[in-house]
Amino acid sequence: MMIDGNATAALGCVYAGATVGSWYPITPSTSLMDAFTKYCSFFRKDEETKKNNYSIIQAEDELAAVGMALGAGWNGARSFTPTSGPGISLMSEFIGFGYYAEIPTVIFDVQRTGPSTGMPTRTQQGDITMCAYASHGDTKHICLYPANPEEAFYLSLEAFDLAEQLQTPVFVLSDLDIGMNDWMIKDLKWDDKFKPDRGKVLSSEEIENMDTFHRYLDVDGDGVPYRTIPGTNPKGSYFTRGSGHNRFGGYTENASEYQDVVDRLLVKWETAKTLVPKPAVSFSKNNDFGIISIGSCDDAIREARDIMSKQDQNLNYLRVKAFPFTKEVQKFLDAHKMIFVVEQNRDGQLLQLLMSETEVDPKKIKSIRLYNGIPIFPKDVVEKIQLEISAGKAA
């Protein structure tokens, strides 16, 4: 089938059970909400009354849009907001609130060139570090990276489950190339028996049988507390705040109570590493060189590997699908003498994440950066990697 990634991401939202979408128009993400609106007119109608059972709100700006998405997520709806880099910049305060108050929602960042307004109709991968650490203070966010419209569907679906399993905002980072251009992909698989994973949501009966509800208590040792949906049971109510709070949700400036909560968020981060998608890996034990990349670089890299293999230069390949990185990423780094990190931004943002979040020897990582706003070409990847290999041999 021929389709663009914004349309498949919108289908993923419908399939995942999203009922609330809030947004402010921005290229190249606008068509994602347009597609969601179209699909909801078919799939989000009450069978008896024929009335809409979804809500789509165009907000006054991106900050309001993500605030509405968080409010809907707090209230038990599956919610999302689509935007691009400038929108993420504006959303950052509320993103930090969602992280600290532990509220699920999904944020789609269809990346374009920056900084500032940049080139709205050109593609780039310049928001990798911004989304990973969005907002002030100590924050880390789950990010998923589709490589094509097919993955945009499946990773969108997975993002909603992860957001509720881990009670946190989850980013899906595509780009203009994936989001707005038509691709040929396999038919998407739709299973009518699919059930969303809502995570640790307490029922009215479970709340009633509890002596005291602790909203931010780590009961199971995985860093993920139990949550309640407003209106379920009065005993499950709590104050949702972005200020310092204890395990009950009460305001605190007590040092140990504050630190208990933020340390538990790190435990939850470790749990996230076991739940996020594993990378796509092509590996042979005989290869000393490896490529690590992300997102829409994938097709160009696979063709570049084919070109180089015909010249007796064989490279292994790992494509990151998620942050935090899973153990497979560290294993791949350890297994090679030289790693080429290929990405579409000026500053090597994926490389920065690898350097800060893994135990890798900086001497064996080489940055391959292509960032002129045009989708990358295999010949450019081949040329830059071969230059690095030649320079390494000369040294």
Span 17-44, mean pLDDT?
97
> What is the reported pLDDT for 393?
64
> What is the reported pLDDT for 75?
97
Provide the token pair at 309: 């293999």
Class of domain 280-394: alpha beta
* From the candidate CATH numbers 3.40.50.970, 3.30.950.10, 3.10.20.30, 1.10.10.60, the one assigned to the domain spanning 2-184: 3.40.50.970
Is pLDDT above 90 for 191?
A: no
**SS3 label, residue 110:** strand
Question: What's the Rg (C-alpha) of the chain?
Answer: 22
Q: Domain ranges in the chain?
A: 2-184, 204-275, 280-394
Average pLDDT of the chain? 96
* d(C-alpha 298, C-alpha 300), whole Å: 6
Is pLDDT above 60 for 190?
A: yes
Starting at the edge strand that comes first in sequence, how are the strands of the sheet with 338-343 ordered?
280-282, 315-320, 289-294, 338-343, 365-369
- 280-394 shares the fold of 2-184: yes
Provide the token pair at 254: 């007590």
Query: Does residue 307 contact residue 378 with C-beta atoms inside 8 Å?
Result: yes
> What is the reported pLDDT for 284?
86
- Which of the pair, 391 or 288, is modelled with greater confidence? 288
The percent of the chain in helix, strand and coil, each rounded to the nearest 5, is 40, 20, 40
> What is the reported pLDDT for 291?
98
Counting every residue, how long is the chain? 395
* d(C-alpha 105, C-alpha 388), whole Å: 41
Span 12-39, mean pLDDT?
98
Q: With bands split at pLDDT 50, 70 and 90, how would you rate the model's confidence at 232? A: very high
